[in-house]
Structure 1
Amino acid sequence: MLQNVDAYSVLNSIKIIIFLNVILHKNLIIFDLLIASNELELDELVEHLQTHFINNNASWLRLNFSQVYRTSYQVKNFKIIRNFCNNIITKYPNTIFESKNFHSLPKDALISILKQDDLQLEEGRIWEYVIEWGKAKNPTLLINLNEWTSNNFLSLKETLKGCLPHIGYFSISGEHVVEKIYPYQQLLEHQLFSDINIKFITPTKPISSIVLPPRKILNTTLPTRITQIPLPSNIITNEHALEISSWIDKKRITL
């Protein structure tokens, strides 16, 4: 009798996995169709498919976030999905900054993130991520900064051109300025670096640099890294769990 129960459970598990795999594969097909529709300049279909994805397959977009976000910047007409991704990054910045694909993020996408005034990330961390991204784009740079030449700093500065103006330097604590900004001071214009020093030495003295307003941080304590929750099942994957979770969320909404 026990053997029959076990066999029945295994059979049901197999059916569920097959069903979930079909759904996940279907989502990939729809996303490929979205890309193809854009290439064929079927603008109305592109807009419809984007809306369909966000309303019905948001879990798949989140699961494949890095790929989706990169594609949204490579394809001009993916504005709806791009905005969807930007909203997620604003609330959960580690989604992209702690991603293994962060270094391959297009520059215009990074700039768009930096422009968000409600990005839930401390300014010192933003600076570190920007430096990390720039150094990844220059793999020949030495690890030890003391061994860098002026040309090394110039190369990194050129890579980060367009990114640096969107960092709120004057929202970074004095301690972090010393720890994080000073080692890379050659990346900054002389006047800006001078004003950063003046701001912490004589706060009331006028400065000529543009002072960006502080970001609208909603949580006083921000997470620093994504915690992976282990799945108890050896046969249900992260993809399957996320798809099931989306069904539960929809069910709760309809109750």
Structure 2
Amino acid sequence: MYTAYIDLDTPSGPDLLQILIAAEELWLQKLLNYIQNYLIEKKSCFLRTFAAHVLETILHLESCTTLQNYCLEVICEHSYMLFGTQKYLWLDKSVLFLILSCDDLGVKEIDIWKYLILWGISRIKYKGKSIKIDIMTGEIIPLKNLSNLSSEMIFELKSILDQFIPLIRWFDIPSNEFFQDVYPFEKILPKSIFQDILRYHMNSMNSPTFNSNLSLNRSMQNLPLLDSVIIDQNHVNVIASWIDKKDFNYYENKRPPYKLSLLLRASRDGFSSDIFHNLCDKKGPTIVISKVFQTGQIIGAFTPINFEQGFPMRCNDSWLYTTDSFIFSFKNQQQINANNINIARVADKHKAIYYNSNFGPGWGGGIDLIFTNNQARSNGFKTYPGIRSFIKAINKIDDYEVFQITKI
């Protein structure tokens, strides 16, 4: 056994799983590690397609944590390949529990609740017959709809779902969805939890009493620390959506794939142009954020390239080429919705970024936006059409920050 040769190129994905199980039983740790890495590197298509099945197969193999974690990452990133299909109804409860415990599961909380209800119903009987569920149409046979659940079935459903209740981020479910899709199942939830959720939705200032961690959006947990006195993670989600050229709320329920590292805070480091260039030049993609005095308006810009001297040079003025920069604004720090945000993308790509060592960061040939001393000024609007509608010519600012942005 210790000198045998195993050809892993010939066996199929399912066969490799059986070899993996045998290696676990025989305590062949080196072979276990090798097969796990081989599956991830050479059989990734198989793993992506059957991630839930693979996870179910190896869940109780103590030495297969590498492959288990990989399958969980695939499920979280491509959750639509599992949820919303019949496959998730067949999941063992231990596998479903592990999946729903993930902080980065890419499914809305209310949808998780709906999927969980259907998963539970598929495990009870109606008049002695198994209940069949068509995920695509939403048809429940022979029940027709959920309102036909008897008190006995509700009791059985409560017993099935009891261990999953603490996994739902109840306070991340909007009030209208709570009253429409959760309230009818009041009897399934423990009374103390239901009353806590109800109090929260009647008055969102109420603090949860049973587990405050469940008020956190999955996508907000375990994120890199944001060191800012101007914006919070909600602003970052919007900016990340714009960077990826998506709708502003694209990352509302997803983990944005960016980390922001503070390079400069004017209130701490100073407002001078020398400080900006010393701390921020040649740092790669950056986001500049400022807060306007008194109004609280947030004005900022995304630069996908280095701040550095460009061409043509004219009296210390130069410009840099990019197609992906943009200027944006949030009306205030508190409210984020379609009516309170604005974005202007670059139109003249040859003069997207303005560079002058005597000034702070700048954008546009106009100059459309520039930070100098404690002001954000807008002298033009041709490079970034539309900015004049949301940025005044002269804006006194309380503070501004520059972040280096990296993909994670």
TM-score (norm 1): 0.70
Which portions of structure 1, spanning 4 or more consecutive aligned residues, are displaced by more than 6 angstroms? none
Tell me, yes or no, if structure 1 residue 216 matches structure 2 residue 213: no
Structure 1 pair 112–62 and aligned structure 2 pair: CA distance change class (3 A): same
Query: Residues of 2 paired with 1:48 and 1:112: CA distance?
Result: 25
1:179-218 to structure 2, matched below 5 A, reads 179-211=180-212, 212=214, 213-216=216-219
SS in 2 for 1:162: helix
Query: Residues of 1 paired with 2:42 and 2:182: CA distance?
Result: 44
Offset at 1:31? 2.8
Offset at 1:44? 2.7
More helix by share: 1
Query: Residues of 2 paired with 1:117 and 1:102: CA distance?
Result: 18
Structure 1 or 2, whichever has the larger Rg, is 2
Specify the alignment match of 1:134 in structure 2: 120
CA-to-partner distance for each residue in 1:133-185, whole Å, 9 max, x for gaps? Answer: 11112143644444333321121111112211110111101111011101111
CA-to-partner distance for each residue in 1:49-86, whole Å, 9 max, x for gaps? Answer: 11111122212222333421221224343322110011
Q: What stretches of structure 1 of length at least 5 have no aligned partner?
A: 1-22, 223-255
Structure 1 pair 113–143 and aligned structure 2 pair: CA distance change class (3 A): same
SS in 1 for 2:40: helix
Shifted more, 58-67 versus 84-93: the winner is 58-67
1:1-255 to structure 2, matched below 5 A, reads 26-140=12-126, 142-211=143-212, 212=214, 213-216=216-219, 220-221=249-250
Query: Residues of 1 paired with 2:152 and 2:49: CA distance?
Result: 40
Offset at 1:206? 4.1
Query: Residues of 1 paired with 2:208 and 2:44: CA distance?
Result: 46
Tell me if the contact between 1:170 and 1:196 (Cα under 8 Å) persists in the aligned partners: yes
Structure 1 pair 64–214 and aligned structure 2 pair: CA distance change class (3 A): closer
Higher RCO, 1 vs 2 (CA within 8 Å, ≥6 residues apart)? 1
Tell me if the contact between 1:66 and 1:99 (Cα under 8 Å) persists in the aligned partners: no
RMSD (Å) for aligned C-alpha atoms: 2.4
TM-score (norm 2): 0.45
Structure 1 pair 147–60 and aligned structure 2 pair: CA distance change class (3 A): closer
CA-to-partner distance for each residue in 1:24-62, whole Å, 9 max, x for gaps? Answer: 854443332222222333233112211111122212222
Query: Residues of 2 paired with 1:204 and 1:29: CA distance?
Result: 55
Shifted more, 113-122 versus 147-156: the winner is 147-156
Query: Residues of 2 paired with 1:143 and 1:155: CA distance?
Result: 19
Query: Residues of 1 paired with 2:46 and 2:145: CA distance?
Result: 40
Paired positions, count: 201
Tell me if the contact between 2:21 and 2:58 (Cα under 8 Å) persists in the aligned partners: no
Query: Residues of 2 paired with 1:29 and 1:97: CA distance?
Result: 26
Offset at 1:191? 1.6
More strand by share: 2
* 1:37 counterpart letter in structure 2: A
SS in 2 for 1:186: helix
Query: Residues of 1 paired with 2:90 and 2:64: CA distance?
Result: 19
Offset at 1:215? 1.5
Tell me if the contact between 2:121 and 2:157 (Cα under 8 Å) persists in the aligned partners: yes
Tell me if the contact between 2:51 and 2:75 (Cα under 8 Å) persists in the aligned partners: no
SS in 2 for 1:121: coil
Tell me if the contact between 1:27 and 1:57 (Cα under 8 Å) persists in the aligned partners: yes
CA-to-partner distance for each residue in 1:84-137, whole Å, 9 max, x for gaps? Answer: 011111212112213432112121211111111121111111111111111112
Shifted more, 178-187 versus 133-142: the winner is 133-142
Tell me if the contact between 1:124 and 1:176 (Cα under 8 Å) persists in the aligned partners: yes
SS in 2 for 1:209: coil
Query: Residues of 1 paired with 2:30 and 2:85: CA distance?
Result: 32
